[in-house]
Amino acid sequence: MKLLEDKILNVGRVLGDDILKVDSFLNHMIDTDLMMAMGEDFYQHFKDKPINKILTLEVSGIAVAFGAAQYFKVPVLFAKKIESLTLGKDVYTSEVISYTKNKRYNINVAKNFLTEDDHVLIIDDFLAKGEALKGMFDLCQQAGATVEGVGIAIEKVFQGGGQKYRDQGYDVYSQAMIERFENGQVIFIGE
Amino acid sequence: MKLLEDKILNVGRVLGDDILKVDSFLNHMIDTDLMMAMGEDFYQHFKDKPINKILTLEVSGIAVAFGAAQYFKVPVLFAKKIESLTLGKDVYTSEVISYTKNKRYNINVAKNFLTEDDHVLIIDDFLAKGEALKGMFDLCQQAGATVEGVGIAIEKVFQGGGQKYRDQGYDVYSQAMIERFENGQVIFIGE
């Protein structure tokens, strides 16, 4: 998606070998017009699927999912990373390893909000090694929900997470697919 | 705001003496159409102020702020609760006590995203004792930014946080103002 790729090239910053910082429009400041345009783009890609719910992961997935939800006209469900006193115990839970944050944590959804009747579009801001995605697939599997597709804003293709799910036959659609970083520059697939 | 009050009456749940659970449309599932309607309502209230940025706090403030940002046509900046490897050290930070979660944590914004040129609308999902709000005011003060107003989805008026800021002359606008809980029922101000 050119709009997102241009934004990444203009204001994204590469840190070290594998971190892309997009704090100015996605992970700290949010450009909601861009999120809406991305939401419409997800809708164009997945509109023929019987999607009735969008599943994402707090924190930065929420804004991306919000834009999509406005086009699909379905609710967003965000998995929670932190055990909360108000979440209750009746949850599905899955362990996720975060390489960026260098820790393990559990992600949780309340059982009454994800069921076998759900046809889910999973949305997230980044796809790298696929750890968060694995956790969200796991939550859907526990609930008996059907995963209709995966919509990602930025995929770091070289970290392999997307290919794993494409190999299993899932439609993983990423709006910006980064082949590699080179001298602090972002190189998209096909450039 | 009647739409939000009705939603609270229909699907909100009162837990104990002072917790209102709105997981089905705000804190776990998100009803984005409702967030957009709330955003328009915030806009109608604050549209004459020279607001150029919306400041909120992860996690649940983000969806509320997103709806407002679509009407104000300004970016959202969300303060981060968790120290992140990718946030960097050049941040303003303030300590917040969460009574719901029974802990203290720091909230942070990057210095380059909040400056003395900013005219800020602070938005959050809940206002109780005003702890999170105090932290966001503190961040604005450190940055030299001007707080133009405070927009809250749900205020638990009996916990006193809103009055503190109104007494200081701030425009604190809450869309649903809860006077008290009575036998597990929500009683709004003026009922």
pLDDT tens per residue across span B157-175: 999 999 999 999 999 999 9
Question: In this structure, are residues A72 and A95 in contact, taking their beta carbons and an 8 Å threshold?
Answer: no
Q: What is the pLDDT of residue B85?
A: 52
Q: What is the mean pLDDT of residues A33-41?
A: 98
Pick B15's closest partner by Cβ from A21, A30, A86.
A86
Q: What is the mean pLDDT of residues B167-185?
A: 96
Q: What is the mean pLDDT of residues B10-27?
A: 93
Task: Tell me the count of A-B CB pairs closer than 8 A.
Answer: 111
Which DSSP helix (H) or strand (E) runs through B143? helix B131-143
Which residue is closest to B77 within chain A, CA to CA?
A29
Measure A167 CA to nearest chain B CA, in Å: 30
Binary contact (B113, A62; C-beta < 8 A): no
Q: What is the pLDDT of residue B107?
A: 94
Binary contact (A31, B110; C-beta < 8 A): no
Return the exposure string of A126-163: e unless at least 16 CB atoms fall within 10 Å of the residue's CB, then b.
bbbbbbbbbbbbbbbeebebbbbbbbbbbbbbebebbe
Euclidean distance between CA atoms A61 and B40, whole angstroms: 23
Q: What is the pLDDT of residue A89?
A: 73
Which residue is closest to B20 within chain A, CA to CA?
A86
* pTM exceeding the 0.90 threshold for the entire prediction: yes
Token pair belonging to B2: 């009647």
Measure B134 CA to nearest chain A CA, in Å: 20
Which chain A residues are within 8 Å of B23, Cβ to Cβ?
86-87, 110, 113
Indicate the residue type of B22. V
Q: What is the pLDDT of residue B88?
A: 59
ipTM passes above 0.90: yes
Which is nearest to B20 in space by CA: B190, B191, B186?
A: B186
Mutate one of B40, B77, B86 to test the A interface: name it (highest A CB count within 10 A).
B86
Binary contact (B110, A23; C-beta < 8 A): yes
Euclidean distance between CA atoms B67 and B33, whole angstroms: 9
Number of other CB atoms surrounding residue B180 within 10 Å = 15
Pick B29's closest partner by Cβ from A31, A63, A77.
A77
**Where in chain B are the domains?**
2-188
Whether residue A64 is predicted with pLDDT greater than 90 in this model: the reply is yes
User: Which of the listed CATH numbers 3.30.360.10, 3.20.20.70, 3.30.70.260, 3.40.50.2020 matches domain A2-188?
Assistant: 3.40.50.2020
Pick A29's closest partner by Cβ from B28, B35, B76.
B76
pLDDT above 70: percentage of residues in chain A: 96
Q: Tens digits of per-residue pLDDT, B62-111?
A: 999 999 999 999 999 999 986 555 555 799 999 998 877 778 889 999 99
The per-residue pLDDT of chain B, averaged, comes to 94
Q: Tens digits of per-residue pLDDT, B116-126?
A: 999 999 999 99
Q: Tens digits of per-residue pLDDT, B34-57?
A: 999 999 999 999 999 999 999 999
Of residues B24 and A89, more confidence is placed in: B24
Which chain B residues are within 8 Å of A113, Cβ to Cβ?
23-24, 28-29
Which chain A residues are within 8 Å of B69, Cβ to Cβ?
30, 32
Q: What is the pLDDT of residue B86?
A: 56
Pick A80's closest partner by Cβ from B21, B28, B102.
B28
Binary contact (A58, B63; C-beta < 8 A): no
Pick A15's closest partner by Cβ from B33, B58, B86.
B86
Mutate one of B17, B19, B32 to test the A interface: name it (highest A CB count within 10 A).
B32
Which chain A residues are within 8 Å of B139, Cβ to Cβ?
none
Which residue is closest to A100 within chain B, CA to CA?
B85
Q: What are phi and psi of A88, to 5 degrees?
A: 90, 175
Q: What is the pLDDT of residue B118?
A: 98
Which residue is closest to B112 within chain A, CA to CA?
A24
The per-residue pLDDT of chain A, averaged, comes to 94
Number of other CB atoms surrounding residue B157 within 10 Å = 18
Which is nearest to A150 in space by CA: A167, A138, A162?
A: A162
Report whether the peptide linkage leading into residue A59 is cis, meaning its omega lies within 30 degrees of zero. yes
Q: Tens digits of per-residue pLDDT, A85-133?
A: 555 579 999 999 887 777 888 999 999 999 999 999 999 999 999 999 9
Which residue is closest to A36 within chain B, CA to CA?
B70
Pick A86's closest partner by Cβ from B65, B75, B100.
B100
Binary contact (A28, B85; C-beta < 8 A): no
Which residue is closest to A80 within chain B, CA to CA?
B28
